Structure 1
Amino acid sequence: MSATRLLVLGIVRGYGRAHGYRVGNDLLAWGADEWANVKWGSIYHALHSLTEGGFLLDHNDVPTRTEYELTERGEHEFMKLLRDAIRRPQPRPDLLGAALALLPSLPRAEAIALLRERLAAQEAARDKAHAQVEALVDPPHVRELFGLWEHNADSAAEWTHGIIARLEAGAYPMAGEPRSPGKPGSWHDLVFPPHPPR
């Protein structure tokens, strides 16, 4: 799964209709070029391939400016990618980063349930790595590798516990709640802060 694909669908969905430059500006303002390796070329490639695949509809109402809108198929794909990115831990952080940027697209109860699936997978990975550390005899230095995996999984599980608790306490307006940016076409009044200087 591609973080760029999820992000592009999510931004077009957020605005209801958006041109490529706006999609790219938002992604670069979020720093996605650093944490998801998003580049201008990959954005326009994603827009083109998503349109070819029937996930986006292109509009050429203004000469030299194409705007994109999610199709019903695109909405289904977006939600599928978002749910998978939340529930399934991946070695790279870009999919989780994309999912967190778009988290309010889900109802609160569903987001919490998906995060609980993620937590169970992280705890299982931690326990497996711990068992490998304990069982290893030779070569002894490989314990460091299993120890790293155990530490990473434990830290990830601790973070997941935290976001679940914050959501359960009512943090962030989620889909279906007042002021939620999760409804398609609801982003027109949002002002995203600029990415910190590098």
Structure 2
Amino acid sequence: MSATRLLVLGVVRMHGRAHGYLVGSELESWEAERWAGLRSGSIYHALRQLAKEGLLDVGEVHEWPGRVDYAINDKGEAEFLRLLRAALSVPDRRPELLSAALVMLPALPDEEVITLLGKRAHALEEERARIVATAREGERPRHVAELFAWRAAQAAGDAAWTHDLIGRLERGERPA
């Protein structure tokens, strides 16, 4: 799964129709280059690739010869929602995926977000338990054991943050 793919589909979806510059400007205003590693070239490449895959419809802007507009279609909508739901519910060690999903939270009803985040929290708790169990197996040098301790702490911290977000959403608070 790609954060760029999710973000580009999401921005086109938000605007209804969008050209590459608009998509890039929107993502730049969110500082996505910092947390998703996006570059303008990757945005244009993603737009062309998504259109090639039949996820975006392409139209020319008659007022600006050579400018192309993109619109999300039903297939693109389904892919966007699939990517968003997966990014919210399945833990991934690439932080840009969750970051992309978080900026797209308004695309789903809070009840669904809460359910998806609940799956995420459960998976993180299971991951932590597996890491702890694996760490107990066999003798390891201390520096290797620290790797397991760090990964277990990461999973526990991610689960705690996820439960906190779920609580805020259940109370009707908008994420800060």
With normalisation by structure 2, the TM-score equals: 0.93
* Paired amino acid for 2:72: L
**Over 4 Å off, 4+ runs:** none
Q: Secondary structure at the match of 2:174?
A: coil
Equivalents in 1 of 2:73, 2:140: separation in Å?
Answer: 55
Q: Secondary structure at the match of 1:89?
A: coil
Q: Secondary structure at the match of 2:61?
A: strand
Cα deviation, residue 153, structure 1 = 0.4
Q: Contact 1:136/1:143 (CA < 8 Å) preserved in 2?
A: no
Cα deviation, residue 103, structure 1 = 0.7
- Structure 1: stretches of 5+ with no match in the other structure: 174-198
Identity rate of aligned residues, in percent?
49
Larger mean Cα displacement after TM superposition, 56-65 or 39-48: 56-65
Q: Secondary structure at the match of 1:115?
A: helix
* Paired amino acid for 1:150: A
Equivalents in 1 of 2:140, 2:25: separation in Å?
Answer: 52
Q: Contact 1:9/1:78 (CA < 8 Å) preserved in 2?
A: yes
1:87 and 2:89 aligned: yes
RMSD: 1.4
Q: 1:171 aligned to 160, 163, 173, which one?
A: 173
- Structure 2: stretches of 5+ with no match in the other structure: none
Cα deviation, residue 115, structure 1 = 0.3
Structure of greater relative contact order (alpha carbons < 8 Å, 6+ residues apart): 1
1:140 and 2:142 aligned: yes
Equivalents in 1 of 2:57, 2:134: separation in Å?
Answer: 50
Cα deviation, residue 136, structure 1 = 4.2
Q: Contact 1:104/1:172 (CA < 8 Å) preserved in 2?
A: no
The match for 1:9 is 9
The match for 1:60 is 60
1:27 and 2:24 aligned: no
The match for 2:50 is 50
Q: Secondary structure at the match of 1:18?
A: strand
* Paired amino acid for 1:44: Y
The match for 2:151 is 149
* Paired amino acid for 2:135: V
Q: 1:105 aligned to 107, 110, 117, which one?
A: 107
Q: Secondary structure at the match of 2:49?
A: helix
Give per-residue Cα distances to partners, 1:32-85, cap 9 Å, x unaligned.
112111111110000001111111011113323211100110000000010011
Cα deviation, residue 95, structure 1 = 0.6
Q: Which is helix-richer, 1 or 2?
A: 2
Q: 1:71 aligned to 70, 73, 86, which one?
A: 73
Equivalents in 2 of 1:57, 1:34: separation in Å?
Answer: 29
Larger mean Cα displacement after TM superposition, 45-54 or 25-34: 25-34
Q: Contact 1:57/1:71 (CA < 8 Å) preserved in 2?
A: yes
With normalisation by structure 1, the TM-score equals: 0.83
